[in-house]
Chains A and B, each alone.
Chain A
Amino acid sequence: MDFQTAYRDLYPALHRFAVRLSGDPDVADDIVQEAFTRLIDQDLPLEQARPWLFVVVANLFRDRVRNRERRARLLAARPPQAEAPEAPDAALERAERVRQVRRALDGLSERDRRMLLMREEGFKYHEIAGALGVSPTSVGALVARALKRFARAYGTLDEADEPSS
């Protein structure tokens, strides 16, 4: 496999997946770079490198979350940081949109989140099944259930955020 070709072809989708998974472009940068670094040591054809990279990125993100949680526990006794200065309205609106989506995304299980994001990147059911360790015949039902969960979570958030009259 030509690494440059793999990087050029797979980076955009992989980075998008990582951003959506983490909600943090900087984290996405790091874990995607780490995944490609690990790819160098693999001898995989391009078609196998694609699902392999997505699994590695998801695992790297999971490890980060665990480390973050561990660190949060250690810092729990510390006082909270001061709030950032108020941003302009447009920035606040964007931030609010992101926050709404992230709350709905984070409300999904890790498996559901990875499954929907991989589906969004065009993975076939058998590839998703392979990456998540589930039966290919169960993916349709799992996707449908996860999408409904997301819709409910997002809809609930919308209703909750509407100003009361």
Chain B
Amino acid sequence: MNHLADAELQAWIDEELDPRDRTRVADHLASCGDCRQGLGELRAAADLFRDSLVLHDEGLGRATGDLQTRARGRIPRWVGRAAALTLLLGGAAVAAIVPGSPLRSLWFGESADSALVPPTDVGSTDSSLPAGASISVRPSDGALRVRVRDFPAGTRIRITPADGQVGVASLPDGEANARFVVAAGMLEVVGPGRDAAPASGDGVILQLPRELRSGVVEVDGDIVARVSGGRIVAQRQVSASGDGGVVIEVGG
């Protein structure tokens, strides 16, 4: 059996394979332990690189530039609002973690390679933003579905798909109070505020392309989670876990 080259494994991780090669690589990985091990090593190296950058950025304290400073400057506005941000990223990986989860039906389904997607990988780092709002993140192998509840007016949540695909947004309630910006490589929603939060609790649903396997979730310019190869790496302190998801404290 000819093993897969590192170039193919890396392209698999980075979603750079065309559909035919992707199927071929998936078939091979399903039956080759050596290549799965090689894949794991490359993913571990990529994770190490990413995690080390987080340490680097934290050590320097200004990695996200003025936007991070601006976000910190907003802290007092968050205090006492008990704002909650709930972002749910769903898919087959969470189903693998929490079989029978009631939220499983919310997600979009499973892809052919879902079994190869590792479970949630959450690296806890700092909590520079104040407590009070929370984000729960669900791992996904591809489809990204984000649920936002009760976020304060002016809070800006941006999901940047790494592949530059354009997402679509819908708002079950309070549509007039939210502002969506959809552009190439970026989908952004500016919060309607607590008063405009839908009583149904459905919140704002942002639905990104099923092909999306990597991207960045930012709140007020501060990165709170990265999605890469179907893995979630939280960039804020993980304070709780519910429904198989990961809750990241970000507010005050």
Contacts and interface: CB of A to CB of B under 8 A. Distances in A.
Interface of A: 9, 11-12, 15-16, 19-20, 23-25, 28, 32, 46-47, 94-95, 97-98, 100-102, 104-105, 116, 119-120, 122, 124-125, 137-141, 143-145, 147-148, 150-151, 154
Interface stretch (B41-49, B104-112, B243-251): B41-49
Interface residues of B, number: 47
Contacts of B75: none
Contact of A150 (B45, B68, B164): B45
B10 A122 contact: no
Interface of B: 5-11, 14, 16, 41-42, 44-46, 48-50, 52-53, 55-68, 160-164, 183-186, 214-216, 218, 221
B128 to A, nearest CB: 13
Nearest to A14: B65
By DSSP majority rule, is chain A's interface helix, strand, loop, or mixed? helix
A148 B10 CA distance: 11
A129 B24 CA distance: 24
A101 B64 contact: no
A105 B48 CA distance: 12
Given A25-B62, A122-B216, A140-B10, A97 B57 contact: no
A16 B226 CA distance: 14
Contact of A148 (B45, B61, B65, B184): B45
B10 A25 contact: no
A108 to B, nearest CB: 10
B62 A151 contact: no
B45 A122 contact: no
B182 to A, nearest CB: 13
Given A98-B59, A122-B162, A144 B67 contact: no
Contacts of B45: 147-148, 150-151
Contacts of B11: 125, 140
Nearest to A9: B186
Contacts of B53: 20, 101, 120
Contacts of A95: 59
A122 B14 CA distance: 9
Nearest to A139: B16
The 5 closest A-B pairs by CB, nearest first: A122-B162, A98-B59, A15-B65, A141-B7, A140-B7
B226 to A, nearest CB: 9
A138 B41 CA distance: 20
Given A9-B186, A141-B10, A144-B9, A25 B162 contact: no
A139 to B, nearest CB: 8
Given A16-B63, A141-B10, A144-B9, A122 B56 contact: no
